[in-house]
Amino acid sequence: MKKFINSVDTLLDESLNGFAKAHADIVQFNQQPHFVKRATPTRSGKVALISGGGSGHEPLHTGFVGLGMLDAACPGQVFTSPTPDQMLEAAQAVENDGGVLFIVKNYAGDVMNFEIAAEMLECPNATVLVADDVSLPKNHSIGRRGVAGTLVVEKIVGAAAEQGFDLAACKALGDKVSANTASMGLALSSCTVPALGKPTFNLADDEIEMGVGIHGEHGRQTQKLGTATEMVEHLINAIIEDLQPEKNSPVLLHINGFGATPLMELYLVYEIAAEFLHRYGIVVMRSLVGNYTTSLDMAGCSVTVSLMDDELLALWDAPVHTASLRWHC
């Protein structure tokens, strides 16, 4: 294992310290318990948005703390859920008389710990559960995983909170975006968790993992490597089958890299995905390409499609200023 690392035990702390120093105008890092919050207070009455999860997915979630998105993010150890005390103290630090909305990816540890924090929090709060991974069936025993669609929820609901939507309206909006977002990914290689020191699964040179998650877990199936067009068609067909969009539906198309795939390849994936959507009669109105919900050093990508309308498009376009997403600010 070759990584820039001093010690597995200090990696997260050192990384978060560096992140906070590099973006000191946007965020502050609370050491114990770990959470990242906005550097400047928000107006009274604004709904506070909090998310979090295991580290290793950067820039999700810490990179999306700032104007127009999250008020705080709680990072756990690599691929490990943050603890309820992190979430509780983060909520108490940023709540400003508007209540708290938790945005939670559908993983058992995240869901359980956020529920505990919500029960302990002595202010109005609600939760949006993101479960956009269509590689798993809707009736899966623990539900679908929350993956790259989480960014879309955080951006749109973050804009709404900034504009004065109340807690109930932010919750309803988040549920709407989550229900109209579908993602699926594939891995060309596994990732290496520093504490493990070796790949979490092995693929032959001519194999890929289709429907992979973001924690180095196996996907829907291992299959032979195909052309970029063949692999992207598989992803798009699964997403279209799930969303069932009407002809001329406006959508956001997000191509997300898992950490080790060059932008040259990600833009090729975008070109192919956009062409397939065009053939289906679907109109790509907004786009986002890059490494946003990663899996350490995994090679591969995911495709996310979100059904949009005029309100959602306006909220997507609204100003945002975070370490990893910013426009119109």
Residues recognised as catalytic: 57, 215
Cα separation values, 309 from 78, 131, 176, 283, Å? 36, 20, 11, 11
Structural element, H or E, at residue 127 = strand 125-130
Residue 142 gets which letter from DSSP? T
| Angle at the Cα of 125 from the Cα atoms of 54 and 160, rounded to 5 degrees | 85
> Could you tell me the two tokens for 132?
């956009």
Amino acid at 145: R
Amino acid at 157: V
- The C-alpha R_g of the chain, in whole angstroms, comes to 19
Residue 188 gets which letter from DSSP? S
Cα separation values, 191 from 3, 87, 227, 325, Å? 12, 27, 22, 24
Q: How far apart are CA 184 and CA 255, in angstroms?
A: 10
